[in-house]
Amino acid sequence: MSNIITEDEPSQEPKALDLKLKLFELCGEISKPELSIGYALIDILYETELPKEGFPLTKVTSTSNENVVEKASVLESIPGLTPFLIPLQMQTREPIDLTDKKTQEEWQGINFIHAWMTTLSYMNTISNMQKMEPWDAFEAMFPRPEEVIAAMMHELWCHTTEGNNKKFLRNSENFENHKKTVETFMRESGTEGVNPTRHVSYAEMMYILNTIKEIYLKK
């Protein structure tokens, strides 16, 4: 397993293909990147075995610097996840001191800690969906699976800088080319209030989703 962003082969599982078609028909005209997030969620649904008890969570909706250490501690407690929490290009030779205020404010890897916690929160819904297969038995009582996927897809898209119109602060090209983001440069310059929601780029979100798929791929 490599600590890099990868564009995995899309699932050819018949149920996955059928659900992707239903998602496409439901959503109509949306951006290709947003739809790709939805397709990645469907691949995770059918190709992985997520923890049946769900993922541990804390302070999901808060991006306060004061919660970084607690969030990182919870994430590091998840077996197999620690080496991949921060992409290699953002790692340093010396251990990062997350209790350091300057690090909390300026290090661009901080966004990943918040993004992982948000994404794993949605993975708990997918874990529950996996336990409910075959879905047909619950069709009369629960929303259609494509509706659930569409809702999560849109929420995760809105947690990207491209999805919330902040692409100039932090974008996929920065991540793929291993460049410092404008957000980080401005933070290091002393500018405050830059990307306060700590959203990541679309490519960074796909890194998280692809990593989840790789770690929890069915044996």
> What is the rounded distance in angstroms from the CA atom of residue 60 to the CA atom of residue 215?
22
Is 2 among the domain residues? Answer: no
> What is the rounded distance in angstroms from the CA atom of residue 126 to the CA atom of residue 152?
10
Find where tokens 């969620």 sit.
41
Cis peptide leading into 134, omega within 30 of 0?
yes
Is 156 among the domain residues? Answer: yes
Q: What band does 1 get if pLDDT is binned at 50, 70 and 90?
A: very low
Residues 164-183: what's their mean pLDDT?
A: 94
Two tokens, residue 26: 């439901």
Is 165 among the domain residues? Answer: yes
For residue 5, pLDDT beyond 60:
no
Q: How many other CB atoms are there within 10 angstroms of residue 51's CB atom?
A: 14
DSSP, res 86 = S
3-state secondary structure of 160: strand
pLDDT at 111: 95
Is 33 among the domain residues? Answer: yes
pLDDT at 161: 97
pLDDT at 176: 94
pLDDT at 69: 94
Domain range holding 124? 15-91+107-215
Q: What band does 211 get if pLDDT is binned at 50, 70 and 90?
A: very high
pLDDT at 138: 62
Is 195 among the domain residues? Answer: yes
Is 3 among the domain residues? Answer: no
Give pLDDT tens digits for 183-209.
999 999 999 999 999 999 999 999 999
> What is the rounded distance in angstroms from the CA atom of residue 137 to the CA atom of residue 96?
48
Q: Which residue has the higher pLDDT, 31 or 3?
A: 31
pLDDT at 8: 55
In whole angstroms, what separates CA 93 from the centre of its chain?
25
> What is the rounded distance in angstroms from the CA atom of residue 77 to the CA atom of residue 214?
18
Give pLDDT tens digits for 129-150.
998 877 666 666 678 899 999 9
Give pLDDT tens digits for 84-124.
999 988 887 778 899 999 999 999 999 999 999 999 999 99
**Is 172 within 8 Å of 205 (Cβ atoms)?**
no
Is 197 among the domain residues? Answer: yes
Two tokens, residue 214: 């790789």
Is 111 among the domain residues? Answer: yes
- For the chain, the domain total comes to 1
pLDDT at 76: 94
Give pLDDT tens digits for 11-52.
567 889 999 999 999 998 889 999 999 999 999 999 999 999
> What is the rounded distance in angstroms from the CA atom of residue 214 to the CA atom of residue 163?
25
